[in-house]
């Protein structure tokens, strides 16, 4: 097994992630640490890194390197971004770190930084077209992409920390200062003509994640997951207005807002809100991906770091990393889809529901990584909270409840996601309709030997005959499938007869 560490020396924080890569190529993040450094603030009037700023950065990076070695990391990749890139005396910082740790910091150009953020994003989301905004302490990277390919890119020479200092917005902002910052932002965005080509804004970085946490707390949003959350532009404006009317001490009490980000929150969310207005976007998507993800994929797949299919990659990665029985999962998924296709006149569902069923079949035993006791609730939790990328939050919730229903309908708490999350009322009926198909499919590979090779469903007015074809005796599978007839009959209102083909 390989284990790599990625250190990101940013303008506001130093971050470390450690990733395990198994022999089969499956990867999993096992550590994610951060420390505030405020390098952008640690510069003098000439843009030089101050001795205090250098000392702070060296201390944190050295600590992270020691941590990597204690965790038996085989390779450390370390990069620095805007604050170091702009500092005339950056060599002093880099040399100190090399001298103390033996690790060389690569100073990314603005183009490299934007590209790596784009790679991290494009390998994490379903969107093929959009506008990526990666907001740091000292720079805002914007990338427009179509068909998952980078079309336009720009790095703006300001970030949440630098504008906070420029307009003195740390504490209760003066109205004149707020208006001046907003006018500056509006004028800057107006000069980028291609922004209008990408009405879908997707945000990366600590300020976007902080905004998502405040929003989740504000509306009691479920699931309590940042990645993929959709925030209406009006809600972003409300949060911006709320925070800009507060003192620093009051902002520190806002649920979901990190105390270390309370001072820069007005500036950071102001940058986001004015960008949403400039793009004329009705909503914001927040991604938990980052520059560090881009570094990982660029390191792991140097010839072509863009994944061919995001959902397929991350599904297979979860299965392989946790050593789940992939053959069994694929057989269950395939049998469920065969049932779905043959019973379309009965359920009248479409390609969206078919996709949910296929994915739920692949993930229906993910909760076994916790325990087979209480598998349903463990499966629900792990699907909702695992690094499983390539689905919208609505899809993730539906897949989680459907996967948890593979041996019996499991709807506990789903109504809460209707009232406080992305689920529509009719989605509950979708789970109810799909669950019996997954349950039957699961039973038909109960022995995990693949004895069932095909199915044939014959529909009459009040009965469905399901013929089970097998290469050898499938008594266990057919008997287990009979347990699911009651749920099927209750949902569809027809009798189910399971026979040998």
pLDDT at residue number 45: 63
Q: How many CB atoms lie within 10 A of CB 232?
A: 15
Q: What is the pLDDT of residue 43?
A: 63
Residue in this structure with the two tokens 């789903």, named with its chain if needed: 414
Cα distance between residue 175 and residue 153, in whole Å: 32
| Calculated CA dihedral for residues 386, 392, 396, 402, nearest 10 degrees | -160
* pLDDT for residue 153: 97
Contact 448, 325 (CB under 8 A): yes
Which residues of the chain register pLDDT less than 70? 38, 40-46
What does the alpha-carbon distance between residue 415 and residue 105 come to, in Å, rounded to a whole number?
49
Per residue in 41-65, pLDDT (tens digit) is 656 666 789 888 899 999 999 999 9
Q: What is the pLDDT of residue 471?
A: 86
Let me know how many helices (H) and strands (E) the chain has, helices first.
21, 14
Q: How far apart are CA 415 and CA 427, in angstroms?
A: 10
Residue 489 confidence (pLDDT): 96
Asked if residue 61 lies in contact with residue 9, where contact means CB atoms within 8 angstroms, the answer is yes
Provide the token pair at 281: 């976007």
User: What are the tens digits of pLDDT across the range 338-368?
Assistant: 999 999 999 999 999 999 999 999 999 999 9
Walk me through the domains of the chain, giving residue ranges and CATH numbers. 2-108 (3.30.420.40), 111-292 (3.30.420.150), 310-500 (1.10.3210.10)
Task: Tell me what pLDDT residue 48 has.
Answer: 87
DSSP state at residue 224: -
């Amino acid at each position: 097994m390989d284990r790599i560490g990625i250190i990101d020396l940013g303008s506001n924080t130093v971050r470390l992630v450690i990733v395990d890569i198994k022999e089969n190529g499956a990867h999993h993040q096992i550590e994610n640490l951060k420390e505030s450094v405020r390098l952008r603030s640690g510069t003098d009037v000439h843009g030089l890194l101050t001795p205090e700023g250098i000392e702070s950065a060296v201390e944190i990076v050295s600590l992270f390197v020691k941590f990597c070695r204690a965790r038996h990391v085989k390779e450390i990749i370390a990069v620095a971004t805007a604050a170091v890139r702009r500092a005339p005396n950056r060599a002093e910082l880099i040399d100190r770190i090399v001298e103390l740790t033996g690790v060389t910091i690569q100073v990314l150009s603005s183009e490299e930084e934007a590209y790596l953020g784009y790679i991290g994003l494009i390998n994490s989301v379903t969107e093929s077209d959009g506008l990526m905004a990666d907001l740091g302490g000292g720079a805002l990277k914007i990338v427009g992409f179509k068909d998952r390919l980078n079309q336009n890119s720009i790095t703006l020479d300001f970030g949440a920390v630098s504008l906070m200092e420029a307009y003195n917005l740390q504490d209760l902002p003066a109205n004149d200062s707020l208006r001046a910052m907003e006018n500056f932002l509006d004028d800057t965005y107006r000069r980028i003509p291609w922004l209008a080509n990408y009405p879908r804004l997707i945000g990366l970085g600590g300020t976007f994640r902080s905004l998502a946490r405040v929003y989740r707390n504000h509306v009691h949003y479920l699931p309590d997951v940042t990645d993929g959350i959709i925030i209406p532009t009006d809600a972003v404006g409300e949060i911006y207005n709320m925070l800009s009317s507060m003192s620093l001490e009051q902002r520190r009490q806002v649920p979901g807002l990190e105390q270390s980000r309370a001072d820069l929150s007005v500036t950071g969310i102001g940058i986001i809100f004015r960008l949403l207005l400039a793009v004329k976007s009705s909503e914001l998507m927040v991604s938990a991906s980052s520059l560090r993800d881009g570094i990982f994929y660029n390191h792991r797949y140097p010839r072509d770091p863009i994944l061919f299919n995001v959902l397929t990659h991350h599904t297979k990665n979860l299965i392989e990393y946790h050593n789940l029985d992939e053959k069994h999962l694929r057989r269950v998924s395939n049998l469920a889809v065969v049932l779905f296709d043959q019973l379309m006149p009965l359920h009248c569902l479409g390609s969206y529901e078919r996709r949910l069923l296929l994915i739920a079949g692949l993930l229906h035993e993910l909760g076994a990584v916790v325990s087979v006791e209480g598998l349903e609730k463990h499966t629900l939790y792990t699907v909702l909270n695992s690094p499983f990328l390539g689905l919208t939050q609505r899809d993730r919730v539906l897949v989680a409840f459907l996967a948890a229903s593979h041996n019996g309908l499991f709807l506990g708490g789903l109504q809460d996601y209707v009232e406080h999350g992305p689920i529509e009322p009719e989605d509950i009926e979708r789970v109810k309709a799909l669950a019996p198909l997954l349950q039957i499919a699961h039973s038909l590979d109960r022995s995990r030997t693949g004895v069932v090779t095909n199915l044939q469903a014959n529909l009459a007015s009040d009965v469905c005959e399901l013929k089970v074809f097998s290469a050898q005796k499938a008594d266990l599978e057919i008997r287990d499938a009979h347990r699911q007839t009651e749920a099927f009959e209750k949902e569809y209102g027809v009798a189910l007869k399971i026979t040998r083909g």
